[in-house]
Structure 1
Amino acid sequence: MKTVLITGANRSIGLETAKQLSEKGLFVYLGSRNLENGENVVKELQENGFQNIKAIEIDVTNPESITKAKNIVKNEQGKLDILINNAGILGVNPQTAAEASVNDIKEVFETNFFGVINVTQTFLDLLKKSDSPRISNITSGLGSLTLHNDPTWKYYHVKAAAYGPSKSALNAYTIVLAYELRELPFKVNVIDPGYTATDFNHHSGPGSVESAASFIIKHTLTDENGPTGQYFSNDIEDESGISPW
């Protein structure tokens, strides 16, 4: 049975991804900053027939929390097959480049960028024990510099000086990570689940969490010939789903 860890999985897209992966027979560590919240979610899932899901406390901004979570997975499973870095924050609005405070921008980067690095580096040795390790970093269309510079893009006027750059940085980090792991059976990609109706955006997005989770899983559960170092977006109409960087 493959094992997956999803950070920020106690609600919205992360939770739906956990549910769908559980239905596919994977063992899911449902990551939550607050263990009690995560356990309450898992209890409800189990009452509704979901199996092989366990809440695990992990705060991606807290190295001690990450290490503790890693040790739990190591002791219980001995390895990790899939890491989905889903935890993220939007930050304080408005986020104008001229006025957003450095501290507010740092706070967003702490979760969306440095948090992913901390989690990935901590769990890398467990992932290397897998026959087919996968790392999916959940990004956003707002992380695409190419699209942001295209006046014809439908979200061209949606600019956020903290959130967007944090995802652009994540995209860049993923390219480097994928390159470094290219000789191993890793597949490392960034995946944009699309503009989805969640608490994150006050349910303003047109997409569903079911579609978002399905898209993440499609580009995570790939075979040995699957791509690595790629950027996929659920908002791209092309069948490939490949987004420009």
Structure 2
Amino acid sequence: MVTGANRGIGREVVRQLYARGDTVVLGSRDHTKGAQAAEEITAGQDGGQLLALHMDVTDPAVLRSAAATVGERFGRVDVLVNNAAILYDTWQSAVTADLDTVRAALETNLLGAWQTTLALLPLLRVGQRPRIVNVSSEAGSLETMGTGAPAYAVSKTALNALTRQLAVELSTSGILVNAVCPGWIATDMGGPGGRPVAEGAASVLWAADLPENGPTGGFFRHGVPLPW
């Protein structure tokens, strides 16, 4: 299951998973856009199964409904990719930030991933080689952090902290939990000049495909650890 998957890195992750024969749930806040993306991905291409599902990660009722649908259709979730994110607020600084903007970023980028995980945790517990992949950013690294995009950066730092806590608490369940940074990718959020979206998806797929003895509670880009 991939959230925020009607465009950008999320969509590319879905495309690659579908193309290799996996069963994929494409979650999107706007179900019409998600359904359109699913149609475009499957058009003229053989693959696995692809289900477009309404998933507003800020709405617990919608998440409960999505979890129920997935449970009824598939009975389990093997991989959850918490990709949905908003507000790369490069126009702000910490001392002048609009805190309503900060709250909105936290609501999606942190709490959205958190409550999506909680909604799907029962299905992950019965999954095969279950993995949780939190799509983060090096902008959230405390070691390298300076100024700029405070809402986005702080929300990603918090997501990294959640990754560590979930990894410890789920360590006995076989669920590996990691954060990944795709790097600067040419998406609607990243803007022009970044690397191709397929390269950004590679970090996500690496974490989704970790073996049983793979790392948990880490922060990676292309399988290489990043500083917290």
Deviation at 1:91, TM superposition (A): 4.9
Task: Specify which of 55, 59, 82 is matched with residue 62 of structure 1.
Answer: 59
Deviation at 1:41, TM superposition (A): 1.3
User: 3-state DSSP class of the match of 2:51?
Assistant: strand
8 Å CA contact 1:198–1:204 kept in 2: the answer is: no
- For normalisation by structure 1, the TM-score amounts to 0.89
Question: Which AA in structure 1 matches 2:61?
Answer: E
Task: Specify which of 82, 85, 88 is matched with residue 85 of structure 1.
Answer: 82
Question: Which AA in structure 2 matches 1:128?
Answer: R
Matches of 1:66 and 1:119, distance apart in 2 = 6
Deviation at 1:203, TM superposition (A): 2.1
Question: What is the 5 A alignment of 1:188-227?
Answer: 188-205=177-194, 207-227=195-215
Aligned to 1:176: 165
Aligned to 2:28: 32
CA RMSD of aligned residues (A): 1.3
User: 3-state DSSP class of the match of 2:101?
Assistant: helix
**32-41 or 163-172: bigger deviation:** 32-41
**32-41 or 164-173: bigger deviation:** 32-41
Question: Which AA in structure 2 matches 1:232?
Answer: F
Matches of 2:84 and 2:78, distance apart in 1 = 18
Aligned to 2:144: 147
Name structure 1 gaps, 5 residues minimum: 149-155, 235-239
8 Å CA contact 1:20–1:214 kept in 2: the answer is: no
Aligned to 1:231: 219
Aligned to 2:12: 16
- For normalisation by structure 2, the TM-score amounts to 0.95
8 Å CA contact 2:163–2:179 kept in 1: the answer is: yes
Matches of 2:154 and 2:210, distance apart in 1 = 28
Deviation at 1:90, TM superposition (A): 1.8
Question: What is the 5 A alignment of 1:89-100?
Answer: 89-100=86-97
8 Å CA contact 1:94–1:100 kept in 2: the answer is: no
Aligned to 2:148: 159
Matches of 2:46 and 2:136, distance apart in 1 = 27
Is residue 7 of structure 1 aligned with residue 8 of structure 2? no
Matches of 1:98 and 1:128, distance apart in 2 = 42
8 Å CA contact 1:32–1:38 kept in 2: the answer is: yes
Q: How many residues align?
A: 227
8 Å CA contact 2:55–2:62 kept in 1: the answer is: yes
Matches of 1:62 and 1:185, distance apart in 2 = 28
User: 3-state DSSP class of the match of 1:162?
Assistant: helix
8 Å CA contact 2:89–2:149 kept in 1: the answer is: no
Deviation at 1:201, TM superposition (A): 2.5
Deviation at 1:202, TM superposition (A): 2.3
8 Å CA contact 2:5–2:83 kept in 1: the answer is: yes
Matches of 1:48 and 1:168, distance apart in 2 = 40
Name structure 2 gaps, 5 residues minimum: none
8 Å CA contact 1:91–1:104 kept in 2: the answer is: no
Matches of 1:120 and 1:181, distance apart in 2 = 12
Aligned to 1:151: none
User: 3-state DSSP class of the match of 1:56?
Assistant: strand
Matches of 1:209 and 1:48, distance apart in 2 = 21
User: 3-state DSSP class of the match of 1:48?
Assistant: coil
Question: Which AA in structure 2 matches 1:183?
Answer: T
Is residue 242 of structure 1 aligned with residue 225 of structure 2? yes
Matches of 1:200 and 1:213, distance apart in 2 = 15
Matches of 2:120 and 2:204, distance apart in 1 = 20
